Amino acid sequence: MDSPTPRQIYLDCDPGVDDSLALGYLVASPLVQLVGVGTVFGNCPADAGARNACDWLSVMGASDVPVAAGARKPSHGEYHGGPKHIHGQRGTGAVQLPESGTTPVAGNAAELLVDLARAHSGDLEVVTVGPLTNIAEALAIEPELPHMIKHLTLMGGAALHPGNISPVTEANIGKDPESARIVFGAPWPMTMVGLDVTMSNTFEEEHRQALLASGSTAGRLLAEVLDFYFDFHLDVYGRRCSALHDPLAAIVAAGGIVPALAPMINVDIDDTRGPGRGQTLCALGGLYRGFPAQDGAHCRVALDIGAPVAPHLVDVLTTLP
Ligand code: BDR
Ligand code: CA
């Protein structure tokens, strides 16, 4: 049987430890052709993230993929630096990546996304694993973008799970709720991979050891970077392991795993200045009735993955050089 045509994917990220796993998965997966990477403020500044993306892509044998630095702050407000206790000083845990000779392209991430959408005429898919500022900026440049993009998959939000930066708000949405509201309001087919599924699918020490023991240089570096991230999660889970936020969005976007439950529902974003700021308001009224169709809904919200994620991630990452 012929293998399926790889999905053409643009990744928007703030690398970031788990962003790096998502990047590695999209480089390594035979289901994907990664055609561009944009970075946004978040886990580290956008320019540092672009440097990290260039260095990671070089280690991963994909330095031909263009990288563009994007938004340096949210659409409304300022950026005060990333959570260094989670992602380390530079977004790579306690590891200094080997410096590549490659540099980000001229132009910003929103421009790169629009250029790629135009060049790939309806075939481009978007994966976002950081704040949605670049995507909202791209929509302002090209209002037809939702009709030019095949699918958008994002790591962000929480439908039924508590938030991780406020009682109700997940970090990627909470860092720029105004942009998130614009992105969720645009009429493209979307899949939201939020804390509902990323917190319950973990990467354990046995999986990290499998990466360390692999013959893959990139796999080993990823495992070393994860060491720092595991320390942060000790307080969260009571053991050294990590949530699989960004890689899970990449896996779902690639079709590596199809979520067992992901109803198509209406989602709005609270962009008020109240205590719910950044909440993903998911219309889950059909939870006990099999989710009857909702007018205008264009977003699937992953509620259950239903398959082991970490072993699949290890299998794919260990094919990296
Ligand atoms: C999200 O926030 C970031 O710290 C992670 O990289 C992930 O994208 C999880 O809430
Ligand atoms: Ca991220």
Sequence spans of domains, the chain? 9-317
Tell if the pTM clears 0.85, that is, is over it.
yes
Give the pLDDT band (50/70/90) at residue 3.
confident
Please tell me if the CB atom of residue 196 comes closer than 6 angstroms to any atom of ligand 1. no
pLDDT digits (tens, 9 = 90+) for 130-177: 999 999 999 999 999 999 999 999 999 999 999 999 999 999 999 999
Task: Output the pLDDT for position 15.
Answer: 98
Distance (Å) from CA 306 to ligand 2 centroid: 23
| Cis peptide bond prior to 16, omega within 30° of 0 | yes
pLDDT at 182 over 90: yes
**Residue 306: is its pLDDT beyond 90?**
yes
221 three-state secondary structure: helix
Q: Which atom of ligand 1 is nearest to the CA of 243?
A: 9
- Rounded mean pLDDT of the chain? 97
What DSSP string describes 96-143?
A: -PPPPS--PPSS-HHHHHHHHHHHTTT-EEEEE-S-SHHHHHHHHH-T
Residue 137's pLDDT is: 98
Judge if the beta carbon of residue 223 lies within 6 A of ligand 1: no
4 pLDDT tier (thresholds 50, 70, 90): confident
Q: Ligand 1 pocket test: which of 12, 133, 246, 251 has the largest number of ligand atoms within 8 Å of its C-beta?
A: 246
- The percent of residues above 70 in pLDDT, for the chain, comes to 99
The atom number, within ligand 1, closest to the CA of 171 reads 10
Which stretches does DSSP call E strand in the chain?
Answer: 7-13, 32-39, 67-69, 124-128, 149-155, 190-193, 202-204, 241-243, 264-265, 267-269, 280-282, 299-301
pLDDT class of 121 with cuts at 50, 70, 90: confident
19 Cβ closer than 6 Å to some ligand 1 atom: yes
| Euclidean distance between CA atoms 50 and 212, whole angstroms | 25
Q: Which residues are catalytic?
A: 245
Rounded Cα distance between 150 and 7, Å, is 10
CA of 16, closest atom in ligand 1? 6
| Res 253: pLDDT | 98
Whole-number Å distance, alpha carbon 272 to ligand 1 midpoint, is 22
Taking the C-alpha atoms of residue 230 and residue 181, their distance in angstroms, rounded to an integer, is 32
Residue 1 pLDDT greater than 70, yes or no: no
9-317 to CATH, choices 3.20.20.140, 3.90.245.10, 3.40.47.10, 3.90.580.10: 3.90.245.10
- Name the residue of 11, 18, 84, 166 whose CB sits within 8 Å of the most ligand 1 atoms, as the mutation to test its pocket: 18
The b/e string for 167-202 (b: 16+ C-beta within 10 A; e otherwise) is: ebbbbbbbbbbbbbbbbbebebebbbbbbbbbbebb
Q: Is 304 helix (H, G, I), strand (E, B) or coil?
A: strand
CA of 34 to the centre of ligand 1 (A): 20
Give the pLDDT band (50/70/90) at residue 271: very high
- Please determine, for residue 44, whether its predicted confidence score (pLDDT) is greater than 90: yes
Residue pLDDT, tens place only, 99-114:
999 999 999 999 999 9
Atom of ligand 1 nearest to the CA of 155: 8
What separation in Å is there between the alpha carbon of 293 and the centre of ligand 1?
30
d(CA 320, CA 111): 29
172 lines ligand 1 (CB under 6 A): yes
